[in-house]
Structure 1
Amino acid sequence: MKKIKLLCLSSVLIVSLSAFAGCSSSKEKVSNDKNTEAQSSTYKPVTITVDLLRNGKGEKVTETFKAPPKKAVALGDEFTDILLDLGLEKNIVGRTENGCKAVRTTFNDVRKNVPVLADKNLSQEKLLSVQPDFIIGWDSNFSDKKFGKEFCEKNGISIYTPKFTGDHATIQDLYTDYITLGQIFNVSSKAEARVKDMKAKVSKVQDKIKTVKNDPQKIFIYDSGENAPFTGCQGLPGDLIKIAGGKNIFDDIDKGWANVSWEEVVKRNPQVIIIMNYGTSDAEKKEKFLYSNPALKDVEAIKNKRVYPITLTDVEGSAGTAEVVNDLAKAFYPSVFNN
């Protein structure tokens, strides 16, 4: 009889505890819901205008965000790293690798957690399989042949093309993109802190080289091409050369990138050649070609062995751009940094 009573008492106790736990769980859920509502209520709608390339012509598209994107896709290593730099790993559902294996090591471990949707040519089907609500990439990614305006609108995808990718972009555009993305994803404090840090690093370099600015080194950017070199002229690469105290020998060409001739390179006689490094053995192959090219044997950069590889993604704009300013300045003025 005592055993039966004990069992009954135990059952009552279990039911009571379960009811209490259920009540506690219910209160906790209500509390969490309120926190979520509070977070949503603090979000200020963000309206942006992006420039797209469609059929060879520019087109402006307006996007309004009423909440932070939850399923972002980054079309390129540099864009992935910027989102990671803002602490948005949980907001990224996929990325593409643009073939440039040379990226800063800062986010290598974290980047592994972001699914690779494609190496380069991402299909519409594969993109939609992760149900994205936001895509960041070059304007060419949003041409009619890929993920055009109508396709993105139909599938509820917001578009973002960074200002720093423009043919006449400056490092200020990179800062602006950080601030804008901070507003879009509701991480403004993080974005502002990163911009402040980048500006401090750039300022430190400029203070270091202020004594040599009146006699800038002549710089040639070598991306690719053996018959006719493909080089950086304007845009962020050109601005970084200037910030680091150099003089781009092709800054008179009003394009971001352009094909030139070896004859013109020789004529302009660069003192330093910067190789765009795509990773693996890419830089080594390019360096070997430049040193073995008989047409360049009398160029100062070749004679004095001043050919340096620089990470492509950082030169085009990424989380490591402020650091690359320091790398460039060291290549231009080694004696200044050795003192």
Structure 2
Amino acid sequence: MGKKSGLFLLCGAVLLFCLYAVRISYPAGTSGFPEVQAVTKVRTYDSLKRPVTVSFSKIPERVIINRLNGAETLMALGAADRIIAVNMQNTDWGKPYDDRYMEQGKALEKITYRNLTKEEAVLLNPDCIIGWYSTFTDKRLGTTDFWNARQVATYIQATSNMVKPGAGVEDECRFITDMGLIFHAESQAKLLTDEIWKEIEDVQEKTRYSHHPSVMVVEFSGGGLDVYGYEWLVGDMVRRLGGFIPCENGYISYEELIRLDPDVIFVVYFNHDLKTMMEQLTQNPAFSSLKAVQGKRVYPLRLDYMYTTAVRTINGLRVLSSGMYPDLAGDA
């Protein structure tokens, strides 16, 4: 009897452990048998930029997703049918989806909002919101605490708004991987991240004996330029592709740009301002002495190819590498 009692106690302990390790739900309309689902946990951030763990006991069914890149990521993972709203900011409005996702994107047009408000979001009754750090402010959709108190899961991309200083390609791949975990599409997510790392490895191999250029990624601001250095995602992309950024993040004067005189300049543009942004550099006599201007190596760079890029990371890498290494342009 002693041995049997011990065996029963052991089996009971194992059963309790298993029940503790998974979340059990009883869907309405079932016969009462428990539906056992493993809890998915991912690491992200809250509205105070603090690291947090978010748990999912099931795949989200009513998702508000921020911007083109986020929506395309869910499309790539086969989760477009989970989206109830796409929140487009002004800098995304009017931009087309990538050719790979054009058809699915058309189906989302009726649920696409321009600067979705907190009040509109509440009425949509989401169970998950995925966005930038700036998405979760009182002026926009409300804080993560506001939504978490209403049992709505929130996820903030690490490369947005300097949530994680120095966040780079690895963090974009982490985002894709996390989305794969949340939406139970791990194999699709791995294909996407493998493609990104292979692109980097291929460029590194092809340019092993090439001249590695000095590169600046700039954005016109007032009477000077904002520079994206290694602390930003695009800086990490340039570094991994073998480029050198000759200055730190920050704001520089036109005179400082002329002094630094990089081999290649990428000009960030947001929406319909491409021609204006490029001409400020290429048509201004003050910049005519720059090597990049003389060598016609000033290139436009879309915001969504260099900032919180998600599935467009591969596009950004190809644009950067083709500008840095013209011989590779045919491969981009």
Interval containing the TM-score (normalised by the shorter chain): 0.7 to 0.9
Residue identity in the other structure for 1:167: P
Shift of 1:69: 0.6
Say if 1:202 and 1:326, in contact at 8 Å, map to a contact too: no
Counterpart residue number, 2:152: 157
Q: Deviations over 1:135-162 (max 9, x none)?
A: 1111122134431133202332111012
Shift of 1:102: 6.4
Q: Deviations over 1:308-328 (max 9, x none)?
A: 112221211121212321221
1:107 is matched with which residue: 94, 101, 110? 101
How far, CA to CA, are the matches of 2:313 and 2:157 in structure 1? 14
1:130 is matched with which residue: 87, 109, 124? 124
Query: Larger helix proportion, structure 1 or 2?
Result: 1
Say if 2:218 and 2:228, in contact at 8 Å, map to a contact too: yes
Counterpart residue number, 2:143: 148
The Cα RMSD (Å) is 2.4
Counterpart residue number, 2:224: 228
Shift of 1:268: 0.7
Are 2:70 and 1:72 equivalent residues in the alignment?
A: no
How far, CA to CA, are the matches of 1:247 and 1:103 in structure 2? 31
Q: Deviations over 1:225-251 (max 9, x none)?
A: 25121221222110111122211233x
| Aligned pairs (5 A) from 1:251-330 | 252-253=248-249, 258-280=250-272, 282-316=273-307, 317-330=309-322
How far, CA to CA, are the matches of 1:337 and 1:89 in structure 2? 33
What TM-score results when the alignment is normalised by the length of structure 2?
Answer: 0.80
How far, CA to CA, are the matches of 1:97 and 1:218 in structure 2? 34
Say if 2:40 and 2:181, in contact at 8 Å, map to a contact too: yes
Counterpart residue number, 1:188: 186
Taking only the aligned residue pairs, the percentage that are identical comes to: 21
Shift of 1:67: 0.7
Are 2:246 and 1:249 equivalent residues in the alignment?
A: yes
Counterpart residue number, 1:171: 169
Counterpart residue number, 2:3: none
- Secondary structure, in 3 states, of the residue corresponding to 2:216? strand
Look at both structures and tell me which one has the larger radius of gyration over its CA atoms.
Answer: 1
Q: Deviations over 1:11-50 (max 9, x none)?
A: xxxxxxxxxxxxxxxxxxxxxx99xx99x64x42122332
Residue identity in the other structure for 1:140: S
How far, CA to CA, are the matches of 2:75 and 2:221 in structure 1? 33
Q: Deviations over 1:290-325 (max 9, x none)?
A: 123333221111122211112221211121212321
Q: Deviations over 1:97-129 (max 9, x none)?
A: 222326533222211222444322x21121122
Counterpart residue number, 2:213: 217
Residue identity in the other structure for 1:156: Q
Cα separation, partners in 2 of 1:283 and 1:303, compared to 1, 3 Å: same
How far, CA to CA, are the matches of 1:272 and 1:104 in structure 2? 26
- Secondary structure, in 3 states, of the residue corresponding to 1:298? coil
Cα separation, partners in 2 of 1:335 and 1:274, compared to 1, 3 Å: same
Residue identity in the other structure for 2:202: K
Shift of 1:338: 6.0
Residue identity in the other structure for 1:269: D
Counterpart residue number, 1:15: none
Residue identity in the other structure for 1:224: F
Counterpart residue number, 1:91: 82
Are 2:78 and 1:81 equivalent residues in the alignment?
A: no
In the alignment, structure 1 segments of 5+ residues that lack a partner are 1-32
How far, CA to CA, are the matches of 1:320 and 1:46 in structure 2? 25
Say if 1:277 and 1:309, in contact at 8 Å, map to a contact too: yes
| Aligned pairs (5 A) from 1:2-21 | none
In the alignment, structure 2 segments of 5+ residues that lack a partner are 1-28
- Secondary structure, in 3 states, of the residue corresponding to 2:172? helix
How far, CA to CA, are the matches of 1:336 and 1:180 in structure 2? 32
Q: Deviations over 1:44-73 (max 9, x none)?
A: 21223322344xxx3333321111111111
Of structures 1 and 2, the one with the larger relative CO (CA 8 A, separation 6+) is 1
Cα separation, partners in 2 of 1:223 and 1:104, compared to 1, 3 Å: farther
